[in-house]
Amino acid sequence: MRPLALLALLAPAAGYQLGGSLAATRRFRQLPPRASAASTSAAAESALMGSTPPTLSLLAPAKINLFLRILGKRADGFHELSSLFQAVSLMDRLDFWQLPEDEGAPLCSMEVTPDSLGAELIPTDGSNLVMRALQIFAERTGEKRRVHCRLHKEVPAQGGLGGGSADAATALHAANRLAGFPVSEEELILMGAELGSDIGFFLARGTAMCSLA
């Protein structure tokens, strides 16, 4: 999958490519938008966990493209693109439970709240980006403790708002946090780049200039 290069607004020369080093832009970074704690006071019982409160609850913001410019067509058929990404206040909520090791159980599982937007159309198997993110984290780190996720969807699927990528980035962050941060941010971005070209944006900051690399 072809990644996007994200350029910091405050320092156009200090860019980084997904999967690359963030050292040059670290001093300009804002808090990752997915790091906001989510309230679970109004959440219904989990289909799997019942009334057991989640270990961790996070919000995953949508993004909009404030502009999209086609700079030209390349020899390989792809277009050179430039865009400005901005995270917005429309968010999905993801609740996570960490469970003990069990060799007979899958390392990750998920459910979707019944009142999620388009709940009946959202898969909960390995085709969902959340499941893929949790699986790739477990495979790369050797983490054996299981993670269950409950997704409450507010961002329209396939709406061009990056909802699936935001959810995947949030799942990667959550898995890393629950495991005690064994993986660096750079490594998380590498994992994310295997799942989607814009996942690195949600692991970085709320505003970024982006170009096709």
**20-47: per-residue pLDDT in tens?**
223 322 332 333 444 444 444 345 789 8
Model confidence pLDDT, tens digit, residues 177-200: 999 999 998 899 999 999 988 898
Provide the H-helix boundaries in the chain: 129-141, 163-178, 185-193, 199-202
User: Number of folded domains in the chain?
Assistant: 1
Q: Is the pLDDT of residue 171 over 70?
A: yes
Instruction: Report percent pLDDT > 70 for the chain.
Output: 78
Catalytic residue among 92, 95, 167, 198: 198
Helix 129-141 and helix 163-178, axial crossing angle in degrees, nearest 10: 30
* CA pair distance 193, 213, nearest whole angstrom: 12
Where do the DSSP E strands lie in the chain? 4-7, 15-17, 56-73, 79-99, 108-112, 146-152, 207-212
C-alpha pair distances (Å), 127 with each of 87, 115, 123, 201: 25, 21, 7, 21
In a domain? residue 120? yes
Confirm whether 198 is a catalytic residue. Answer: yes
More confident: 14 or 164: 164
User: Under DSSP, is residue 161 helix (H, G, I), strand (E, B) or coil?
Assistant: coil
Question: Which residue range(s) make up the domain with 149?
Answer: 4-8+49-212
Catalytic residue among 63, 95, 153, 167: 63
Provide the H-helix boundaries in 29-162: 129-141
In a domain? residue 40? no
The reply to whether the predicted model has a pTM over 0.75 is yes
In a domain? residue 44? no
User: Under DSSP, is residue 141 helix (H, G, I), strand (E, B) or coil?
Assistant: helix
In a domain? residue 26? no
CATH number for 159: 3.30.230.10
Confirm whether 144 is a catalytic residue. Answer: no
In a domain? residue 16? no
The stretch 5-15 carries a mean pLDDT of: 33
In a domain? residue 36? no
C-alpha pair distances (Å), 160 with each of 15, 64, 69, 118, 195: 24, 8, 16, 15, 16
- Count CB atoms within 10 A of the CB of residue 67: 8
* CA pair distance 201, 169, nearest whole angstrom: 9
pLDDT classification of 98: cutoffs 50, 70, 90: very high
Give 56's strand partners.
Answer: 96
Give me the pLDDT at residue 9, please. 35
In a domain? residue 61? yes
In a domain? residue 13? no
